Structures are given as C-alpha cells and as structure tokens.
Amino acid sequence: MALASHKDYGSASNYPRALSSIIISVGLLAVFITLASWILLSFPVGTVVRSYFYGVDQTSDLGLSVSLGGLNGSQVRGEDKTDFSDIDLAKSEGTTEKDQNQKQNDGGSKNQPGEDNQNQNAEISKDQRVEDIQNKNVEGSQNQNAEGSQKEVPSGDDTMPREQATNNTLPTEIPVEQATNNTQPMEIPREKATNNPLPMDDRDSPKDELINDASADLLKSETSPGNTDSKESVDSECDLYHGEWFYDSAGPLYTNNSCPVITQMQNCQGNGRPDKEYESWRWKPAQCELPRFNATKFLELMKGKTLAFVGDSVARNQMESLMCLLWQVETPKNRGNRHMQRWFFKSKSVMIVRIWSSWLVHQTSEASGDLPSGVAKLHLDVPDEVFMQNIPNFDVVVLSSGHWFAKQSVYMLNNQMVGTQLWSPPKKQQPLNINNVDAFGISVETSLTAMATHPNFTGLTILRAYSPDHYEGGAWNTGGSCTGKVRPILPGPYRSPDPNKITKRGPDGKPPPQDCLHWCMPGPVDTWNELVLEVIRREFEEDSDSVVSQEGGHVAKPDHDDESEVEMELEVDASTGETEPVRNQTESSEGSDSSDCDLYDGQWYYDPEGPLYTNNTCPILSQNQNCQGNGRPDKEYENWRWKPSQCELPRFNATKFLELMSGKTITFVGDSVARNQMESLLCILWQVEVPRNRGNRRMQRWFFKSNSVTIIRFWSAWLVHHTTEPFSYVPDGITKIHLDVPDETFMELTPKSDVVVFSNGHWFPKRSVYLLNNEIVGTQLWNSPENLAMNITSTEAYEISTETSLTALATHSNYSGLTIVTSYSPDHYENGAWNTGGSCTGKDRPLFPGQVVEHEYTNIMHDKQTAGFHQAVKKRTNESKLKLMDITEAFKYRHDGHPGPYRSLDPNKITKRDPNGRPPPQDCLHWCMPGPVDTWNELMLELIRREFEGNQNSAF
C-alpha cells in the first residue's frame, strides 16, 4: 500500500510539470513559425529558400536587374539549327559583356513582380517543358541540411558577418585561413593542395573541383500560377519522387566489367569495395511502378534525336550511367573530341552529348579592373555561350550543376560585382548582397530562361535537382567519410585502384579524401536515368499516361519511316566528316543477306559458361596455340564472347553444323591463321564426334561419318601462283609471286568444295618479288639491281592477289559453292615487331573502346583486301556466293587472346634471351585455343545457316 500510495503522489505531482512543458512547447512552436515566416518573406534569404524548396521560382524578384543581353544574338539565341560537331567549344573569354544595358542596382525603375512574371510567361513557348527530377535519399540527410539552412541564416544582414561564418554551413565571405573549420570545401592554396587531392576526376577541367557540402533536397517544382496549359505539367497523377527504396534481387543491368566507359573513380567494385548490396536497391514511387531501364525502349523513343547532358562532374556521372545501360544492347560510335563527348548509336540514329558547364553561366578567369587573374568571374545574368550556341541541335537537355558554387569566385550582374565567394575585394565596395547560394539560384534561372525563350529550341529540358553528398565527421578535405554503409551509398574510399589513395594518411594523420559526392556505378545514379526515361516517355509517346502497372504495357510512338532514318544517319555522318562503313554492303547485291542484323557491329561480353572445349579434350590442338598447356596462368580470355548489337549470335552448335553440312565439303585455304581457324572448328566438332583422318602431307582431310562431312585444309600463303626458281635477274631463293595467276593447286579442288574459307595476308611482308604478265612490277625487302621503277607495294600486291583468287572462283564454270573471306586478322605486338622484342604479355581481358591503338598497316591491309573482294564480286559469272566475314574491327579489342610467350612447352622459348639481351619472340598473331578464334566459327556457322537453311533471316 505504501508503495502504491507513493506512486499516486508522484503521478499527481507531475501534472503541473507536464502542463508547463506543453505551454513552453506551444510557445516555442509559435516563435518558430513566426521566425520561419519572416525568413521566407525577407530578401534575399527568403528568395533563396523559396527557390530551393519550390525549384525555379519564376514569380520571385531578386530586386536586381537581370539581363540576358551580355551576349549578342547569335551567342544567346543561336542561328538556324546547324551542325554543332564542327564548332570549337573552347570558351570565349572576350569582352562580350560590354554591350550590356548598364543598369544601377539601387536606382532606376524596377518592374513589379507581376509584370516580370507576365512578360516571362508570355515569352515561354508552349511546347517547351522543364522537368525537375528530385533526388531522394534513404538516410534523410537532406531534411537535416534543409533545417540547418533555415536555422543558420542570419537575420537582418544581407552579408554574413565574418565572425559567424566559421560555424555556418552556407558561407559567403570567408577568409581562406578560416576555411579549415568550415564544413564547406574551400579553395586550397597551391602549396597546400598536394596533401588534399580532390575526390573526383579532374580531366573535365584544368581547374580544381570543389564540392559543396551544403546538401539540400529540392522538392518537386510547382507549376506557375498563371500557367494553365496541361502540357506544361507532369503528364500523370503519379508522383515519381515520393516513394521508397526497395531491394531488387535481380541486381543491376550492367557490371563494372561490362561497361567500358565507367570512370575509374566510380568503379567501386574495380577499386576493391567488398560489398555489392548497394547495387541492388531500386526506387519505387508510392503510387506506381517505375520500370527497370529499358535500353531498347529508350533508343526507340529517342530515334533520330539528340540528348545532351550539361553541367559538372555529377552530370558526367549520370551520362556515364546512361552509356553503361545502353552499351548492353548496342556499342556506340565515339565521335567526340576534347571539347565535347559525343556517342552515336547507329541503329536508331541517337546521339548522346555531354558538355562541361560548371556554373551554366558565362565565366572568365581573366583580370578585370580590381579583380585579379585566376579568380573565376561569374556573369550570373549571361548564359553559358558554349552550350547555348548548340541548343538548336538538342531534343532533350539534362541540366545538372551546383557543386562548383563553393569554389572561389566573384559574382557579376550587369558587369557589376554583387558578391564573392572565398575572396575579399581589396577595396571597400558597396554592400555585396549575393552569396554562393543566391548565385546558384540566379544561374539556374538565367540558363533556364535563356532556353525557355530561345526561338530555335523546342525540346524538352530536364532539370535534375541538387545531388546530396553524405560526408560525416567532416568535409571532403577534413576527414569526412561515408565508409561502412551497406545500403545505397556513394563511392566512399573506393574511388581509386591506387592503394595509397585508399589507406595512406597525410602528415597530419588524416586519411585520404573520400568521395561521398559522386555515385558508384552500377548504383543509385542509374535510378536517375530510369526517371529520365519515364519523363521522356511521357513527352514523346502518344500515350501520355505515367508509368504503367505491372500488367500493363507501353504504347510506343510510331518510329520514323525508313527513309527519314537514313536521311538522319547521313546527316550525322556528314557533320563529322567521317565515313561510316556499312557492313552489309561488303557483299554483292546478289549474295547479300536479307537480314537487318549486322554480325560485325557489337561488343565483347563475359560468358561464365566458358568455352565448348578445353586443351585436354581436343587432341589435334597445335602446341603453339595450347596456351594453357604451355603454362599460361590466367583463363579469363577463354570466356569472352561476341554479341552483335542487334541480335544474338548463338553458341556454336556442332550437331547443327554437321546437319547443315551433311554430304558437303568445307575447305580452308590460306596461311597459318587459316589453320588456326580450322583447328578451332575441329576441336568444337570433336566434342560430338571423332572424325577420321584421311589427309596426307600435302593436304589435311577429316571425315565425319555420321553426316558425311569432310573438312579440308590447304596451305596457300598468297592464294596465287608462286615459285622460288630463278627468274630473269632475280636469283634463286627469292619468292616470285605471280599476282595475276591463281594458285593452281587449290583451284583443282574447287569443284569438289561446297564451302571455301579464305584467310591470309600475313606472308606479304616476307621478302618477295611481284610479277604481272611475267613482268616484275614490285619487290618487298629486296632491291632490284636494275633500279627499275616499281609501282606495286606489298599491300597493293595483297589486293591484286585477293581479286585474282576470288575472281577465279567466281567465274569457275564448275563451282557453285559458298566462298567466305575471313578479313585480315590483326596482331597486337607492342614495343616492337615479333623479332624485335614486341610483346603482348599480361593482357587478361579485351580492350575497351578508346583503348585500341590503331595500326596503320592493319587498316591498310583490311582496306586492300576488301577492295579486292568487291572487284571479284563485280566479275562473278557463276552461281557461287561470295561473303566477307569482317572480323578485323572486332578483333582489334582482343589483345588478350594471343599465346604471347606461352607458345611452347620448351622453357627456353619462353624465358631464354638471345646474345643481344632480347627475350624469345612472342606470338601475338595467332590465337589461343580455346579462345577468341572460336568466334570466327560461330560467325561462319551463321553465314552457312543463312545460305543453306530456307530461312534467310539473321541470327536469332
């Protein structure tokens, strides 16, 4: 009872205290609401806060005269839609601001807010749209930052007092010596910068990139009150930006191994990050389903169009994510230069462009008045002329910026300094009202207004909201970290494969700077492109409904007709001055495939199933190509397969091959590379049937009894008649090649062959003499004692011999088979030739686009062979078919597929050096088996299937 009574007394005594707490809480809430209302109505803070929370606030008036007259008409508006590929995008830092209207900040008449809004709305084209893509974060750091922004904004003063700046998350004027105590990344003096490398790739700009640590989540843009056009609003009632993250066990649509354009700093898995769960979290809007990114759908919607990413390194992050997604269905052509990245997807004539523009407005670093050189001067009322001059060429523009506004800079309006960041003017100036956050809002308004009033731009503009960072415990250069997070997070310390950049501490004991701003790839940034695709779908599809339910489907907008597609493709090609090879035109019109699938335009992908045979299951494997048997330590090169961009190339089906070739003979004619391909075919077929060897020392012949299939290989290095007998003044021992006489030995076999596969070219650098009509017309590695004029080089001799041999087949009265010409096989010798120390050691995966070192000789030989092929096609008189199996370009990427030093079991042939100190010659010409050469037979099988099956369609 005593204890119970004591509890009752204690409870009763708490009532007054609880009542007082409620009264105090209500009072504080009233004070907070009053203070917040005052902040929202004040200038300039209220304008900035409203801009952050409501996106592009067209009804706000900054009380400053913002003019777009800083550039002439051609710079701001652009002329008629012209090709932008030839425009030099180096920034013009001239005095284009001199012609602006000189308006005083504190004097003169000002338009009323209502007038500004009416004028602006009147100028905006009805068929233009601005979408604001919101970035949501599961950890809720944006809301904390937004609250911090409201609480820390000082009252009354436009310019923040210096004594308060060190504790503020949104500084304006802060001396450099105070910057180390601020969470905002500051300008680092050159002499101190070496200990604080920036956590991002600085290849985009010679300047140091600085990251704004003030994370603010921009909420959904609201439609202007005066705008009632439904076309200007989101097409659906579904709010894409209100939802939650969920774990998707299907994982990402690409990996760091299947995307060659991932910047190393965002290649978290490649840089050693141990966990992978962050790749599998996807965004789900509360009211609908956001479909996984559909690359084919994207290319269809963007058919004949250009999408441009404009902004800083975060814009690059998003663009590379999109490229990785699209790369899985088609390998684009790189048509960029040092000023602009440009990728062209040929199947749908889609161009992806990226233009660097850190601030979206005109900027210069040249000295001006009291402003020294090296300090960025941002003309907030003048849009960036670099991307504005290209605006008429774009159909979709994605803007992304904000993180460079923390960098040292000076803000200008009407050529007057109105604010600074991390720099103090040497003389007393009039009050500076614009801080870096104000400047960000003005720059966004300037750039978007310039686009929304551009007479020649009718495209879709997507404004991606400010991307939050997640630094904890400091800023990027003061030990801030995002390590150890296992949900959708940023690259953290895994931003470089250099272990020193991950673990080595500086002299002050701080760890290396982490990247908690950019996003891992694959990772959350891929969601941005799912949102972009949905916004584009709503704009370009006839069905304006939002994302569909799981049972529903999209109704695609009808594609352009074929004629318009071709015209667009030719227009783009003409703009670059490039000649794009059309693979299907490498065959005669009589013998061309009826399929639209180009087998030779595609990419390499990793196939975990591995090869169809091993070095232990194929008894006829030449020891020189038995890389595993010769001690090669890695095996990954065996697993890469070729995928055409527009179709699937099936794995080789040995049973299918024998059925198609039932009762037929296939003959391989050429040099040792032809033998390489023939042995690959035999190894694959050996897995289903052991053939009988019926060959002799002059000719290899293998017979598969089940389907009466014969495979023959005949050696003919030049495909034409040759002899080493003395001729005229040419001595014995030197090869004399009669370029106009086909090799009579294999021509005798022609009537017996149903399929002939040619492969040669690598013996033409050998010492020889070339003859036409029994007259010497050229030499190779031999000087004529007669000093006669020689017009035929080794590459020209290759063209003539190809034409001669193929014409002999195409006009042979008793031959009606299929002739397949394997194009010139590239070698990959580096730092020398085969006999001068050239090497291909240490290559364990294919090259990525942009890494291929073009060898002029390989390209010339390919072109000469192709030219000879076309000449023979024109001369065809019989019923035979000629096909060019054009493997050259695809196999330039396979530097990993050669034996290299592993060409023999003899250790002396791998390690022993000659008297000159050179290592033994490596083999960077032939191909390991199993290995890339097996792809040749997959392509060959597809060509045979097209010819011998009733269905002439391409690979399925």
Dist. CA 343–CA 331, nearest whole Å: 9
Query: Residue 364 forms beta bridges with which residues?
Result: 377
The verdict on whether omega for the bond into residue 522 sits within 30 degrees of 0, i.e. cis, is yes
* Contact assessment for residue 355 and residue 309, using Cβ atoms and an 8 Å cutoff: yes
**Region for residue 387 given its phi and psi (left: phi exceeds 0; alpha: psi -120 to 50; beta: otherwise):** alpha
Query: Residue 710 forms beta bridges with which residues?
Result: 665, 703
**CA distances, 910 to each of 124, 710, 898, 901 (Å):** 72, 37, 14, 5
Dist. CA 742–CA 118, nearest whole Å: 82
Q: Hunting for tokens 């470089």 — which residue is that?
A: 496
* Contact assessment for residue 727 and residue 736, using Cβ atoms and an 8 Å cutoff: yes
917 CB burial (10 A radius; 0-12, 13-18, 19+): exposed
Query: C-alpha angle 23/27/33, rounded to 5°?
Result: 145
Dist. CA 642–CA 604, nearest whole Å: 5
User: Which residues participate in catalysis according to the annotation?
Assistant: 672, 923, 926
Q: Which residues contact 8 (CB under 8 A, 6 or more apart)?
A: none
Q: Which residues contact 297 (CB under 8 A, 6 or more apart)?
A: 533, 537, 554, 556
**CA distances, 799 to each of 301, 792, 794, 871 (Å):** 43, 10, 9, 10
DSSP-assigned letter for residue 884: E
**Joined tokens for residue 514:** 């982490």
Query: C-alpha angle 820/825/827, rounded to 5°?
Result: 170
* Contact assessment for residue 417 and residue 411, using Cβ atoms and an 8 Å cutoff: yes
DSSP-assigned letter for residue 513: P
* Contact assessment for residue 412 and residue 378, using Cβ atoms and an 8 Å cutoff: yes
* Contact assessment for residue 720 and residue 801, using Cβ atoms and an 8 Å cutoff: yes
User: What string of DSSP letters covers 535-552?
Assistant: HHHHHHSS----SPPTT-
**CA distances, 448 to each of 54, 55, 284, 444, 602 (Å):** 15, 11, 29, 6, 38
Percent of the chain that is helix, strand, coil (3-state, to 5):
30, 15, 55
Determine the 3-state secondary structure of 687 from DSSP: coil
**CA distances, 767 to each of 33, 736, 741, 759 (Å):** 92, 9, 19, 20
Pairing relation of β-strands 818-822 and 755-759? parallel
